[in-house]
Structure 1
Amino acid sequence: MTATDPSLTSLAQGWCALSLLHGRIEARIERALQAGHNLSAREYSLLDVLSRQHDGEGGHLQMKQVADAVVLSHSATTRLVTRLEDRGLLSRYLCPTDRRGIYTNVTKAGLELLEEARPTNNEALREAYEEAAGNPELAPLVEVVASMRVPA
């Protein structure tokens, strides 16, 4: 059965195609980051999200916000943070205004690894999109994604 199988509803066909595109992109990025930087796609994503924090109002993310940003459960995000903290790539500290809150920062080593891995991630992403654009089932999705502009 393909993503365009007539027995599927158009909504199901779209979901199958989207799932296929996501899986192929994620697999390509995963292989490239693992081979080049000993970093998983999820680890890269977490470092990237946390590296965008700032000291201004609302600049630090709580663990639930981090989990939402990397599309993981709270517990899976906590385990991922712990793994990266054990590798010296992240550090945690108590929120100065609310002692119940714990924030996570990317360490200098984490920022260096992220900057080293960013070109690898971007190249793998570009290659995955180019490959998918050649697939008739995925090309329309690639066009939609390419036309999207995320607000700054």
Structure 2
Amino acid sequence: MKALEEIPFKPEKGHLVKFHTPYPEEDPSQLYLLLEVKDYDHFDTPWADILALGTGFSFPSINMVKLEDLEVVEWNTEELLGNYGAVLKEDGSKVPGKIIQISTDGNNKEPLGNLTIHALIRDDKGEEHNGRLLMDSLR
């Protein structure tokens, strides 16, 4: 079994990943949010649950793939623009919508969950809301 300790760069929950060798019909630049790494005894290799970003679906599917097929990507926070997520406002309310502005930028290999990213979103009514982006709300 390939244990996680044998993988040079250990992807973890919250990393942005992509397939290092996508199929011809797949978009090679498609980004996924790594939700969970599974390294159980009954698997011959570690697996990961991933969520495709930028689909716009209310309930995007979660896929389980071999961890060895993925690579952690350096990303720029602006790549989150156009995706759907939710922000936590100062008053404690959570508001979902489309991400239209990010207050930080820069390349990163850190898991999204380790960062505090502020975003401006537009809800279904067209109203704009500012707050801390909730990583578990991305879709």
- What's the TM-score once normalised by structure 1's chain length? 0.26
**Highest Rg: 1 or 2?**
1
Larger RCO of the pair (alpha carbons < 8 Å, separation 6+): 1
Determine which structure has the larger helix proportion and give its number: 1
- What's the TM-score once normalised by structure 2's chain length? 0.27
Determine which structure has the larger strand proportion and give its number: 2
